[in-house]
Amino acid sequence: MNILGIESSCDETAAAVYTPDGLQSNIIASQAIHEQYGGVVPELASRAHHKTIWHTVQQALNEGSITLSDIDAVAVTQGPGLMGSLLVGICFAKGLCLSRNIPLVGVNHMDAHIYANFIDDQPEYPLVSLTVSGGHTQLVHVTAPFEHELLGQTRDDAAGEAFDKIGKILGLPYPAGPVIDERSEHGDPSFHDFPQAMLDNDFEFSFSGLKTSVKYFLEDQDNREEFLKNHLDDICASVSHAITEVLVKKLRNAIEHTGVKTVALAGGVSANSMLRRKAEKLAENTGCNLHIPKLAYCTDNAAMIAITGSMMTQQKLYADMDMKPFANLKALERMNVQR
């Protein structure tokens, strides 16, 4: 089936076309307006989606050399995400489906991050996915398509959220994750030993204490501005080390617990270069096959929605036109699904 994927869960308006021949297009319209506020403003995000969604879909169709009449189903993010943003995408998708009399597929955003690994590759089941983004950090045991077991997740801040909040403390622009990653390449990870929380728990995460530790560490310096000027790269490297060490240690626990030979990274933080290197080393040491999406498929995008929608249509996991957005849709949960 030819699938149109639509993603609007946060501040990226995205559309993609996936056909039996693979991914044909993947268009992302970013919202720069949030940078001045140091974070996403929900009302502004939904307004921006409303302004750009039709143009974004048209661009995806044009780049994919396909017309709307060729689309067999529309897959759209149902949650989790910002309610207003989700509403724009879902209402638009419903309108397309009603006008063309084609099926609607509601996609769990976190499922889609996992299945982004299948856009260019075919990971073997069973596998363990470490899914790390701005809103979620979780370990998932995947035994077959949409057969999941949640092993553990963060109890407070997600890894990406920790990067952004710490970046704000350091005076870095939003989003801070990519900036910290780049500066870490020039710093010393052993500069300061920031805490690695909950190592006594096999699969649960906690990152809220890390940002507090960074805050107090900077307050202890006699001249904060001069200290940051001289050691910003080192602090970024030390923060990255603390976060990625926890992620990789928990991933090792999951590998040993499940006995899998396939491991996947997913979510925006899977673009982090330090995490990728450590995951590659872990896979080598454990004899696992490691799968990491291309950078374009790590952050929020519609390609992952389209391929997940394609996989759901194969199992006839369609939604009805009463489908509603769920801002707090739980990991691995699918609502309003009918076979």
121 is in an annotated binding site: no
Residue 316: pLDDT over 70: yes
CATH number assigned to the domain comprising residue 17 = 3.30.420.40
152 is in an annotated binding site: no
The pLDDT value given to residue 11 = 78
Question: Rounded mean pLDDT of the chain?
Answer: 92
**Of residues 24 and 36, which shows the higher confidence score?**
24
Residues 302 and 247 in one domain: no
Does 181 count as an annotated binding residue? yes
Examine the pLDDT at 329 and tell me if it is beyond 90.
no
pLDDT of 90 reads 97
The confidence score (pLDDT) of residue 337 equals 54
Q: Which domain holds residue 317?
A: 3-114+297-338
How many C-beta atoms surround the C-beta of residue 10 within 10 A? 24
Residues 6+ apart with CB under 8 A from 64: 16, 17, 19, 24, 25
Average pLDDT rounded to a whole number, residues 126-143: 94
Q: What is the mean pLDDT of residues 16-31?
A: 91
Same-domain pairing of 272 and 131: yes
For the entire predicted model, the pTM comes to 0.92
For 92-134, write each residue's pLDDT tens digit: 999 999 999 999 999 999 999 999 999 999 999 999 999 998 8
Flag whether 200 is marked binding: no
- Of 292, 309, 324, which marks where a domain is finished? 292
What is the pLDDT at residue 29? 81
Q: How far apart are CA 56 and CA 28, in angstroms?
A: 7
- The partner residues of 19 in beta bridges, in order of sequence, read 22
Residues 263 and 168 both lie in one domain: yes
- Are 94 and 32 found together in one domain? yes
Give long-range contacts, CB 8 A cutoff, 24+ apart: 175-183.
Answer: 175/134, 177/134, 177/268, 177/269, 177/272, 178/271, 179/236, 180/236, 180/239, 180/240, 181/240, 181/271, 181/272, 181/273, 181/274, 183/232, 183/233, 183/236, 183/237
The domain boundary, picked from 256, 276, 292, lies at: 292
Please state the separation of Cα 72 from the chain's center in Å.
26
Over the stretch 28-47, which tens digit does the pLDDT of each residue have? 886 555 565 566 677 787 88
Helix H or strand E segment including 308: helix 303-314
Residues 92 and 7 in one domain: yes
Residue 164 marked in a binding site: yes
Say yes or no: 277 and 301 in one domain. no
Of 1, 43, 35, the C-alpha closest to 18 is: 1
Span 135-139, mean pLDDT?
A: 92
Q: How many domains does the chain have?
A: 2
Beta carbons within 10 angstroms of residue 53's beta carbon: 21
| CA proximity to 127, closest of 280, 298, 222, 266 | 266
133 in a labelled binding site: yes
Residues 287 and 179 in one domain: yes
Residue 339: per-residue pLDDT: 47
Tell me, what's the pLDDT at 50? 86
* Residue 171 annotated in ligand binding: no
Q: What is d(CA 99, CA 96) in angstroms, rounded to the nearest whole number?
A: 5
Please state, in angstroms and rounded to a whole number, the distance separating the CA atoms of residues 2 and 182.
Answer: 38
Integer Cα distance of 4 and 333 in angstroms: 22
Rounded distance between C-alpha atoms, residue 164 and residue 319, angstroms: 35
Indicate if 142 and 204 belong to the same structural domain. Answer: yes
**What's the confidence (pLDDT) of residue 10?**
80
The answer to whether the annotation marks 5 as part of a ligand binding site is: no
Q: Same domain for 156 and 229?
A: yes
Residues 262 and 307 in one domain: no
132 is in an annotated binding site: yes
